[in-house]
Amino acid sequence: MNRALHDSRREELPYAHRRRGDHTIDIVDVFRRSEFVGAIVDEAIGLQSPPRLIWLQLGVVDDAAQTRAQAAGIPCVTDRCLMVEHRALGV
């Protein structure tokens, strides 16, 4: 969700802010420090069409936010690098 990450080879546009966009978000990928995660997760939970997954990058942990996401039916991965996991899957 950051336009600076836009890759012209992809059809999807990343968004600078979660409330922009009129479609379902697949992954909210959080690179912010742990103390900011709670508000980001709460905002994602409150979206009209919540994301399919919340991913907190390596070193980012908020157990309470993870619990709230999971209670809302949104899987939440913490303290893992999405790129590393993607490569490990060979995708």
What ranges do the domains of the chain cover? 24-89
Position 3 scores a pLDDT of 43
Beta-bridge partner residues of 56: 30
Q: Which residues contact 52 (CB under 8 A, 6 or more apart)?
A: 24, 25, 26, 27, 74, 75
To the question of domain 24-89 being in CATH 3.40.50.720, the answer is yes
Segments in the chain below pLDDT 50: 1-3, 6
Position 61 scores a pLDDT of 96
Do 59 and 81 form a contact (C-beta atoms < 8 A)?
no
pTM of the complete model beyond 0.95: no
Position 88 scores a pLDDT of 93
